[in-house]
Amino acid sequence: MEETIFADNIHKTKDFLGHELSFDCMGCAIANEDIMVPGGPVYRGKFCFLASDPEIPIPGFLVLNAKRHVNSFAELTLEERQEIGDILARAELALKRLGITKEITLVQEERSAHFHIWIFPMQPWMIQKFGTGISTLREVAAYAKTHATEDTIREVLDVSSCIRDELTERAAL
């Protein structure tokens, strides 16, 4: 696997619970569960892995990681694309059914070495503070990191568990 390329390039960061994370490639480490994301897995697929973002505590903010170390949709196989598309749609439906957001923004950048999609639940406070549109997301994320309270963190963990239940209950639909 390509991960060995990064063998001498260990990165370290802290998740929003204060645990130190150490990895070659964050996407591989999350998808293969070498590191534990706060709240645990929301969905474990054959080809992808869905969980809260480990560093940015926003309730309902999810990251969908491919299990393979590729960096674009075009490099995914048909089976991988089908599962990823399905989980994406089901995660969006869960966020809306649970009343977490009315509007979702998806972000996928080939600039990142490991394929992942941000599933970003837009919320009124973000729009009030930073305005609308994709250009505000970095500011929103930075603000969420520095302003999270214990209540926010509890809510992130609760919401992640509610989405997991919702996806499990509706798995056959």
Chain residues in the site for Zn ion (CB under 5 A): 25, 27-28, 69, 114
Q: Strand ranges (DSSP E) for the chain?
A: 11-14, 20-23, 43-44, 48-52, 62-66, 103-107, 116-122
| CB of residue 91 to Zn ion, shortest distance in Å | 21
Amino acid at site 17: L
Q: How far is the CB of 55 from Zn ion (least distance, A)?
A: 16
C-beta of 106: minimal distance to Zn ion in Å?
20
Which residue number, 90 or 114, has a Cβ lying nearer to Zn ion? 114
CB of 28 to Zn ion, least distance (A): 3
Q: In this structure, are residues 91 and 50 in contact, taking their beta carbons and an 8 Å threshold?
A: yes
Q: Which is nearer to Zn ion, 27 or 39 (CB)?
A: 27
- State in angstroms the smallest separation of the CB of 109 from Zn ion: 14
SS3 41: coil
Task: Considering the complex, state which of residue 17 and residue 113 has its C-beta at the smaller distance from Zn ion.
Answer: 113
- Beta strand pairing call for 116-122 and 62-66: antiparallel
For residue 111, give Cα distances in angstroms to 40, 70, 72, 123, 160.
26, 11, 9, 26, 27
Find, among 64, 15, 61, the residue nearest to 38 by Cα: 15
Give the dihedral of Cα atoms 157, 161, 164, 170; nearest 10 deg. -140
Look up residue 65 and give its amino acid: N
Q: CB nearer to Zn ion: give 25 or 91.
A: 25
Nearer to Zn ion, 25 or 56 (CB): 25
